[in-house]
Structure 1
Amino acid sequence: MQPSDLKNLTVAIVGAGYGGAAAAKALSLLGVNVTVYEQAREIREVGAGIGLRPATVDRFRRWGMFDQIAAVTSASDAFEILTGDGHPIMKEEWPGIGDFDVPTKTHLVHRGDFIETLVAALPDGVLQVGRKVASIEDQGDRATLTFTDGDTVTADLVIAADGIRSTIREQLFTDAQPVFAGEHAYRVVIDADAAHGLVVDDNLRMYIGHGTKVYFLPLRHRGQVSFDITTLHHDGAWAPEITREQLVDTVQGFDERIVRITEELDLDALVNRACYDIDAVDQWHTDAVVLLGDAAHAMLHHQGQGANSAIMDAGAIADALQEAGSVKEALALYQSRRKPETDKLQAVSRQGWSEDELSEVFPGQRPESQQAAAR
């Protein structure tokens, strides 16, 4: 689309998470008239750290945000996989470091710092909070959002960045519900001094035991580490309860320092989540509405690609709008570029457990996501 066409384009983004905020940044740089509608009254993230892959960091460099991202992150060279008791299995450099004109590492960041940095980079007036979407009407060349307070907004393009339980996906694309993966994730950020000497560099480490994985993501710029225990479990409640004894039991046989960290955790600071994803969505767009991030392809966290995929989606939408002749053509181009990649990531992320581990926790059966991965 021509620059003059982009400047006349109105875009409504539903959701101010990573993907929605990144899309707003990318589109605002093109001169698009963009507004983000977020249902929460305060933008905040709790829980763990994440790794921003080289391709994601390169996007921020292209958007003029590298310095802001670098200020709240630690640059990481490699990731490691170890047995539960600490014996090395593999160590590899992050893929993609040398793919750009400037060597670009993976950057480790606290989720809260990341979303604050993204939102702070948006132009004034772009973000509206406390705006929950009740319904959407697709009118072909435009779409109208109706909010729970009765207010309506019509835009040339609506970007649904409203997460794994997307209202817009359910109303326009599929009523398929999130799929329980048969696992829980218990996440917390602790001081590096409380990690019993395990914070030695900026590499991500994953310790693998039977039916449990421990993710250890240093945030040395904060003097902290993100600590994640992911374990197979029957309970599909979104926020399951856990006792200290149960938590410690999940890491029996692991490195004694991991056991000690678990024994000393502040359970009030722990974020407990049952793990869900969605099956691949066949169609991401109409002529005026498009899905982005978890709304399009929510995936399990084993590959660490959920946030990265949302950022890459945002960049791909902006690129497609510049390259195509119309919004309709741009959305088709966006899906053709991104869906094959995210379909692969969704499938690989579901292959996190051995048959023996699954059969012990789910004798004679398995969670729906594991059934789908096996087909």
Structure 2
Amino acid sequence: MKTSQIKNLKIAIIGGGYGGASVAKALQTIGAENVHVYEQAPALAQVGAGIGLRPPSVELFRTWGIFDRIAAVSSPSDHLEILTADGQHVLANEEWPFLHAYQQVNHNRMIHRGDFIDALLGALPEGMVHLGYKLETIDDKGDHATLTFQNGEVVTADLVIGADGIRSTVRHQLFSQKEPVFSGEHAYRAVISIDDAHGLVTDDNPRFYMGQNGTIAYNLPLRHRGELSYDITAPSEDASWAPEITHDYLVKILDGFDERILQVARELDLSKVTSRSVFDIDPIDSWHTHSVALLGDAAHAMLHHQGQGANSAILDAGGFADAMLQGESVKDALSIYQSTRKPLTDELQRVSRLGWHADAVESAFPANA
């Protein structure tokens, strides 16, 4: 599409998370001026824990002119290490894929989820993001769509992007009514001071400790904040959304782990631990109509074992902007977007479901992305 066509489109993005904020920035970069992001939360808060932003994502930040914003609130990592539960044996120690694939070295950036969202939203023009807009219905009219929000507002747009997460209203109403799939795992996450990490943090590189019982301890350093993102994933049959935990339970599932990991578990302030059952979705047949498309978790929510959820949403955003430039119309662009991105995310969903196994870590990056 010509820049003049993109400029005149009225674009509505549902969801102000990684995907929504990223695609808003990507579209702004190619000339879109009438872009609005509708976020259901009444206010934005610093929530979540640490994530790693892969080199391909970092390259997009350079393209979008926001690398410095991201770098200012993140730390550079050059490799990932996977160890046995007791930390005595290294199962894999590999450089991040695509670290040297660009004109400059793009390190994996270790960042707090809240800082990442703040950096993305802070790069958008004032007035682009609207808070307190929870989508109630979407009416697909073919060449446009009408959105009705719970606050009574009604919006019509030439292009709607559903970036509204794993429990996406857009997906449920237009594409698939299948519910998210429980993985049989819980994830417990906390951000603690490095001073309370008992020596677990020695550099900027994440380390995964693999238990024979299926429990994994993820240690993601956030040294720029003086913190460690301390994450535990463990098998469980309890599919409740926010399961309750105790110190005794954490110590039990971490039996045989590095004593430092156990000591952190004993000292955690449980009121500051995020406890969630882990879900993904089955791949869906189509992500788009003529004027509506899904993006990020709404399109392909995946398990966290490969650390590719946020990165896939960012790459979706880059692919979406590229498709808009390549296509002759919105309809054409959405088809290009899906054909480019869906095969990649289908594979990532599959590989992420395989998880990690303490006796079979052939590669730290089986998806090589």
**Superposition TM-score, scaled by structure 2 size:** 0.95
Runs of 4+ in 1 over 3 A off after TM superposition: 353-356
**Structure 2 counterpart of 1:57, which letter?**
V
Counterparts of 1:24-173 in structure 2 under 5 Å? 24-32=24-32, 33-86=34-87, 87-173=89-175
**Structure 1 counterpart of 2:51, which letter?**
I
Q: Does 1:188 align with 2:178?
A: no
Q: Report the alpha carbon displacement of residue 109 of structure 1 after superposing the two structures with TM.
A: 0.1
Q: Report the alpha carbon displacement of residue 353 of structure 1 after superposing the two structures with TM.
A: 5.5
Counterparts of 1:2-13 in structure 2 under 5 Å? 2-13=2-13
Alpha-carbon distance change, 286 to 134 in structure 1, aligned in 2, over 3 angstroms: same
Name the CA distance, whole Å, in 1 between partners of 2:183 and 2:54: 24
Name the CA distance, whole Å, in 2 between partners of 1:114 and 1:263: 29
Name the CA distance, whole Å, in 2 between partners of 1:177 and 1:90: 35
Q: Report the alpha carbon displacement of residue 143 of structure 1 after superposing the two structures with TM.
A: 0.5
Q: Which one of 257, 270, 273 corresponds to residue 270 of structure 1? A: 273
Query: Does the Cα contact within 8 Å between 1:211 and 1:231 map onto a contact in 2?
Result: yes
Unaligned 5+ residue runs, structure 2?
360-369
The CA deviation string for residues 12-48 of structure 1, in whole angstroms up to 9 with x for no partner, is 0000000000111111122211000001011234231
Instruction: Tell me the equivalent position of 2:246.
Output: 243
Query: Does the Cα contact within 8 Å between 1:163 and 1:294 map onto a contact in 2?
Result: yes
Query: Does the Cα contact within 8 Å between 1:42 and 1:129 map onto a contact in 2?
Result: yes
Instruction: Tell me the equivalent position of 2:339.
Output: 336
Q: Secondary structure at the match of 1:221?
A: helix
Name the CA distance, whole Å, in 2 between partners of 1:92 and 1:14: 37
**Structure 2 counterpart of 1:310, which letter?**
A
Query: Does the Cα contact within 8 Å between 1:6 and 1:31 map onto a contact in 2?
Result: yes
Instruction: Tell me the equivalent position of 2:330.
Output: 327
**Structure 1 counterpart of 2:347, which letter?**
K
Name the CA distance, whole Å, in 2 between partners of 1:78 and 1:29: 31
The CA deviation string for residues 286-345 of structure 1, in whole angstroms up to 9 with x for no partner, is 000000000000000000000000011111111110111110010000001100110011
**Superposition TM-score, scaled by structure 1 size:** 0.93
Query: Does the Cα contact within 8 Å between 2:84 and 2:358 map onto a contact in 1?
Result: no
Q: Report the alpha carbon displacement of residue 354 of structure 1 after superposing the two structures with TM.
A: 5.5
Q: Report the alpha carbon displacement of residue 150 of structure 1 after superposing the two structures with TM.
A: 2.5
Name the CA distance, whole Å, in 2 between partners of 1:44 and 1:351: 33
Name the CA distance, whole Å, in 2 between partners of 1:111 and 1:253: 30
Q: Secondary structure at the match of 1:273?
A: strand
Name the CA distance, whole Å, in 2 between partners of 1:225 and 1:354: 24
Instruction: Tell me the equivalent position of 1:370.
Output: none
Task: Give identity over the alignment, percent.
Answer: 60
Q: Which one of 297, 300, 312 corresponds to residue 297 of structure 1? A: 300
Count of aligned residue pairs for this structure pair: 356
Query: Does the Cα contact within 8 Å between 1:44 and 1:115 map onto a contact in 2?
Result: no
Q: Report the alpha carbon displacement of residue 50 of structure 1 after superposing the two structures with TM.
A: 0.1
Q: Secondary structure at the match of 2:5?
A: helix
Query: Does the Cα contact within 8 Å between 2:181 and 2:279 map onto a contact in 1?
Result: yes
Name the CA distance, whole Å, in 2 between partners of 1:45 and 1:237: 24
Query: Does the Cα contact within 8 Å between 1:47 and 1:270 map onto a contact in 2?
Result: no
Q: Report the alpha carbon displacement of residue 248 of structure 1 after superposing the two structures with TM.
A: 1.2
* Greater mean alpha carbon deviation, residues 197-206 or residues 43-52: 43-52
Unaligned 5+ residue runs, structure 1?
357-375
Q: Report the alpha carbon displacement of residue 355 of structure 1 after superposing the two structures with TM.
A: 12
* Greater mean alpha carbon deviation, residues 179-188 or residues 35-44: 35-44
- Give the root-mean-square deviation of aligned CA atoms: 1.2
